[in-house]
Structure formats: structure tokens, C-alpha cells
Amino acid sequence: MNMPSSGDPTNTLVLGIETSCDETAAAVVDGGGRVRSSVVATQHELHAEYGGVVPEIASRAHLEHLLPVIRRAVREAGVTLSDLDAIAVGHRPGLIGALLVGTSGAKGLALALDIPLVGVDHVHAHLVAGLLESSPLEFPCLGLVVSGGHSSLYLVHDPISPILLGRTIDDAIGEAFDKVAAMLGLGHPGGPEVERLAASGDENAFDFPVANLGRDRIDFSFSGLKTAVLYATKGHPGRTPPTLDERRRADLAASFQSAAIKAVRRNLRRAFDQHPEVSGLLVGGGVSANQAVRAMLQTEAAARSIDLRLPPLEWCVDNGAMIAGLGVRRLAAGETDGLDLAPAATSRSSILPS
């Protein structure tokens, strides 16, 4: 393995590669958690006309973007490929064809440069976004990932291996935002559009359900909420559909957003009640870019004197810096992977024994 020339571990440079869904991203992060560069090429416009991510189109776009994005990330970090100490890649979970592009590219680079390859779990990497460029956080803490594919709460002793406390049993919260956006005739990705429309609506106009899966359970469910919004938008089968004017659309967006946030708040409170030993909260995932979500988290954290780590907006959504950030931690722990590292569609999380 290349060792950083000064021997100082904070000078270690890790390139992070992210291709799990519809962003091709690369970033260089150093051993001290400083982000030297972060480049993201989104494919939103390619998928917009389909109202969601089309896996085959995503894979082809990753193929086109990957090398230019990596070259730019290395250039903007002010280094060359030969200065890198390791290649980290998000190899699970995600769209398998998309992951194959990033994983193959990462293996090729690691082999050619003769440096270690570090496979990173994309969902766990979202938790590390809040630790980039910031002071150390005391562990254990709670971790919350709210994204297009995941709604999960973790107990985090070490971001390398967070313990899953609860997750969605059906749709992810971001998926619900995207589906509701489609119902309301908004563009893709739907989360930011719903947030914009919700700003002019009344969150109390509709009393949408907040799933409760059991008094002590901290799992999520968003499919009932999604169906309730569908009926309020399109009408119940056999009945005259309501008129979907601007006012009603805004009220639907605001009431949906409020119910979705209440679901997150309830499970977060349960997790804090069940784990009084934690004093911090790591948050990540695209939905944590939502201002109403951020305001709720700030209120909850302040009420419990919790050290809240909310990433800046650009690191809430998919990016390479979080992949490199977790890669730095795995590398420092001596964890690297062989060239047989396999992409996988699902996450692998350990679950707290009950």
C-alpha cells in the first residue's frame, strides 16, 4: 500500500466513487475528514420524463460520466492519481447495473495504481456525511437515514458497523415524497418539489395517517400514507373526483409532508427513549435536505441536549465525499477488500438482539 509521504495519517487521500442510483459522483477526502474535492453529475433530466429512475438508462449514464467525474475530482483536489492511498466505492445497496459500473471502475483504478480497494455500504456512508469537516462526535450516537431508498434508524458505536434499530417495512420516505409529487403533477425528483408546494399549503387541511407499528417498534411504514394521499388527490373509486385546484394541491403537499415528518419524529423519540446512553444524532439522506425535516430534528435535538450533525445540503443527497469519508474510516481500521468485491442490491446491517 502507498503510505502518505509525511507518515501523518491525516494526509492519507482516499478517492470515493458513488454510482448506486442516478448520481455519478467522486470525491477526494483526507484522513482528517477534510473534503479536498467533491464532484457530482446528476442524471435527473434523463429520468424526468419517466417519473422515476430507469435502471438501464442510469447504468449507461454512469458509464459515460464516471471517468470524467473522477478526473475532475482528482484535479480539483490539486493532486494526481498517484497521490491517492486508496479507492473507496459504494458497492451496496443500489441498482445492480449502476453499482457494477462504479465497482468495476474502482477495481480497475485500485489494480492499476496498486493501492487498496475499500468497499463501502452506501446507507452507512450517508451517516458519515455529518462527520465530514466537523469536530469529533461522541459515540455511541443514534443515526437516521432518510433517503429515496431507505428510512432507517441505527445505534452507532462506530460508523463502520452501525446497528440497525428499525427500518421501513414498505416504501422509503423519499420514495413516498416522489410518488406524492407524481400524483400532484410535479417533476422528478419529487422531494424538493413537494417541499416547495407545501410551503404555501395548510398542513392541518388533511388528517393523514402516521403509521404506528407497535408501542416499542421503531420501524417505518409509508405505504398507508401514500394511499391516503392518492385517494385525497384522485378521489375514492366510484366517487366523483375532487377538483384539484392550486389550493388543494398545496394543502395536500403540506399535510403529507407534515404526516411523514411526524412518523420520523415518533420513531426518533422512541429510539432516544430506548437508548438514553446516546448524546448525539447523525443524520443523512436526501430527505434530510428538507427544511421542515431539519427544523423538526433541530427542535428534537435541542429538547434533549443532543449533539446533532446535519450535513450541508450538498452532502445530504448522494455524493462521493460520504463514500470516501467512510472509506477513510475503514482503511484506518485496516479493513480493505479484494478485487472479488461484489456489488449487491441490498444492504447488510447487523440488528440489535432483542
Distance CA 265, CA 244 (A): 29
Task: By CB under 6 A, name the one of 16, 33, 130, 148 that touches ligand KG4.
Answer: 148
Q: Which entry of Zn ion, ligand KG4, none binds 289, CB below 5 to 8 A by partner kind?
A: ligand KG4
Q: Minimum Å distance from CB 85 to ligand KG4?
A: 26
Task: By CB under 6 A, name the one of 18, 203, 318, 337 that touches ligand KG4.
Answer: 318
Distance CA 11, CA 30 (A): 6
Binding segment toward ligand KG4, per CB under 6 A, in 76-84, 100-108, 185-193, 242-250: 185-193
The answer to the question of residue 347 lying near Zn ion (CB under 5 A) is no
Q: Report the residue number, 73 or 145, with the smaller CB distance to Zn ion.
A: 145
Distance CA 228, CA 145 (A): 24
- The amino acid sitting at 312 is P
Cα 217 → chain centroid: 22
The answer to the question of residue 256 lying near ligand KG4 (CB under 6 A) is no
Instruction: Lay out the site mask for Zn ion across 55-84 (x = CB under 5 A, - = otherwise).
Output: ------------------------------
The answer to the question of residue 103 lying near ligand KG4 (CB under 6 A) is no
Task: By CB under 5 A, name the one of 19, 147, 151, 255 that touches Zn ion.
Answer: 147
Q: Please check whether residue 71 is in contact with residue 88, taking contact to mean a CB–CB distance below 8 angstroms.
A: no
Q: CB neighbours of 228 closer than 8 A, spacing ≥ 6?
A: 206, 208, 209
- The amino acid sitting at 318 is D
Let me know if 46 is exposed, middle or buried by CB neighbors in 10 A (0-12, 13-18, 19+). Answer: middle
Could you give the strand order of the β-sheet that contains 151-156, starting from the edge strand earlier in sequence? 307-309, 280-284, 141-146, 151-156, 163-167, 350-351
Distance CA 155, CA 272 (A): 10
Sort strands 23-30 and 13-18 into parallel, antiparallel or unpaired: antiparallel
Task: By CB under 6 A, name the one of 13, 15, 17, 21 that touches ligand KG4.
Answer: 21
Q: Minimum Å distance from CB 331 to Zn ion?
A: 21
Helix/strand number for the chain, H first, E second = 11, 11
The answer to the question of residue 121 lying near Zn ion (CB under 5 A) is no
The answer to the question of residue 190 lying near ligand KG4 (CB under 6 A) is yes
* Residue with cell string 395517517: 209
The answer to the question of residue 255 lying near ligand KG4 (CB under 6 A) is no
* Residue with cell string 417519473: 51
Binding segment toward ligand KG4, per CB under 6 A, in 36-44, 145-153, 218-226, 263-271: 145-153
Instruction: Lay out the site mask for ligand KG4 across 277-316 (x = CB under 6 A, - = otherwise).
Output: --------xxx-xx--------------------------
Distance CA 236, CA 167 (A): 30
Q: What's the grid cell of residue 12?
A: 492519507
Q: Report the residue number, 166 or 286, with the smaller CB distance to ligand KG4.
A: 286
**Which residues of the chain form contacts with Zn ion (CB under 5 A)?**
147, 318
**Which residues of the chain form contacts with ligand KG4 (CB under 6 A)?**
21, 147-149, 174, 177-178, 189-192, 195, 285-287, 289-290, 317-318
